[in-house]
Amino acid sequence: MQILNYTPEHEAFRKRLRAFIAREVTPNVAQWEKDGIEPRDIWQKMGRGGFLCTDLDPAYGGLGGDFLYSIIVTEELSYSFHTGLAAGLHSDVVVPYISAFGNDAQRQKYLPGCISGDIITAIAMTEPGAGSDLAGMSTTAQQEGDEVVINGSKTFISNGINADLVIVAAKDPAVENPYQALSLYIVETGTPGFERGRHLDKMGWRSQDTAELFFSRCRIPIANRLGEKGQGFLMLMQKLQQERLVCAVGAVTAAERIVEWVIDYCKNTTVCGRPLSKPQANQFSLVEMATDVKLGRAFMEKLVADHMEGHEIIIETSMAKYWTTEMARRVADRAMDLVGNEATLEKYPITRAWRDVRVMSIFAGTNEVMKGIAAKFMGL
């Protein structure tokens, strides 16, 4: 059953990207994992290859492609057993706030660099003590003349070390309603009062630079506000559907790759004179794992098609984010059990894959948050 219609141009793009990853990414992953960060030049190489912000208009240097190009980038990076290069976050989560809600001056200033990889982006929502709760956010933004002064802290910010530009969610303390108080602001690296804290040492996604960010009387021009004042919550709600869908794409592809790898391992590993794939219990496990990923693939692709047609699928993408990431965790756990002691050795990609899929149910809104959103929109 084919849900998404990929053209020859899409497939040529996928082939070119896969070759790029094999040449420029895979040989370097082990070192990047040790370093806890990817070098900036890999972003520039991605940009030169046309693999960043593929939906943006050619007037800015973009490909002008549809959302399927974004899906291909997320799938191919996930399929490579490397999740640290957060191109999907940059291209499909952060930059769309600028392209959709930025004014002409902001788009002209930032979008060409975002496409070329010379500007790396991050979005700062999560806070210590508030987590994914936007209403509980404490970072403030107060207007003083033609400037805005930001005070507060953010944590678990992906691309936090490399980022040249951070979109910061902050509220006006004079506005009582927390949803009407929220606005989004562009803060550039080097702005006085903006400092990076710890480069967080994580269990998984080790090469993805995740950091704490601090704002102490950080002054930015009022021209750096995205959209109208007080519209931050609405803007976030409009774009979070795509963020959750991108998470589901990554989770499904990671699970597919794990199943593919463990089936090959079981077929080619002999225990007591028999391949690991021959005992019936192992066969049943492998079949169940393969079934899970096929169900996830069908669910995810249907939502991609709906999203591309402009449908509001807040409930469904929340469901997909929690179900596909939990499915990927189940698949990774069972794969580890089938491989046994060998699965604990760093020489096998399944070890890194197991660490990396574990965090997918936490970032971009925990799965408990996803279930709560679905319940609310279902009227429960």
CA angle 29, 32, 33 (to 5 degrees): 85
The pLDDT, as a whole number, for residue 139 is 94
Select which of 33, 75, 243, 301 is catalytic.
243
Give percent of the chain with pLDDT exceeding 90: 74
- Domain end: 195, 228, 261, which one? 228
153 forms beta bridges with: 214
Contact 189, 40 (CB under 8 A): no
Residue 20 placed within a domain: yes
Q: Which two tokens stand for residue 171?
A: 């509220």
Write the pLDDT tens digit of every residue in 242-279. 999 999 999 999 999 999 999 999 999 988 889 999 99
Residues 87 and 176 in one domain: no
One domain, residues 220 and 341 = no
- pLDDT, position 350: 85
CATH of the domain at 194: 2.40.110.10
**Residue where the block lists tokens 């079981």:** 266
Do 140 and 204 fall into the same domain?
Answer: yes
Measured between alpha carbons, how far is 297 from 294 in angstroms, rounded to an integer? 5
Q: How many domains does the chain have?
A: 3
Whether 40 and 138 map to the same domain: the answer is no
Output the domain CATH number for residue 245: 1.20.140.10
- Domain around 110: 8-119
256 is a catalytic site residue: no
Asked if the structure places residue 1 within a domain, the reply is no
Low-confidence stretches of the chain (pLDDT < 70) are: 1, 131-133
Does 105 lie in the same domain as 204?
no
Unique residue bearing structure tokens 């990929």: 6
Last residue of one domain, picked from the residues 95, 119, 143: 119
Q: Per the domain annotation, does 2 fall within a domain?
A: no
Of 198, 228, 258, which marks where a domain is finished?
Answer: 228
Is the same domain home to 132 and 260?
no
In a domain, residue 3? The reply is: no
Does 289 reside within a domain?
Answer: yes
Domain containing 109 — which CATH number? 1.10.540.10
> Could you tell me if 151 and 208 lie in one domain?
yes
Residue 113 lies inside a defined structural domain of this protein: yes
Q: Are 231 and 210 in contact (CB under 8 A)?
A: no
Pair (245, 333) in one structural domain? yes
Confidence (pTM): 0.91
Whether 95 maps to a domain, the answer reads yes
Task: With beta carbons less than 8 A apart as the criterion, state whether 213 and 166 touch.
Answer: yes
Separation CA 8–CA 102 (nearest Å)? 33
327 and 224 assigned to the same domain:
no
pLDDT value for 129: 78
On whether both 194 and 71 belong to a single domain, the answer is no
Regarding whether 191 and 103 lie in a shared domain, the answer is: no
pLDDT digits (tens, 9 = 90+) for 90-115: 999 999 999 999 999 999 999 999 99
- Interval 275-329: pLDDT, tens: 999 999 999 999 999 999 999 999 999 999 999 999 999 999 999 999 999 999 9
In a domain, 98, yes or no: yes
Q: Report angle CA 347, 37, 318 to the nearest 5 degrees.
A: 90
If asked whether residues 189 and 254 sit together in one domain, one would say no
Minimal CA–CA distance to 321: which of 256, 378, 372, 370? 370
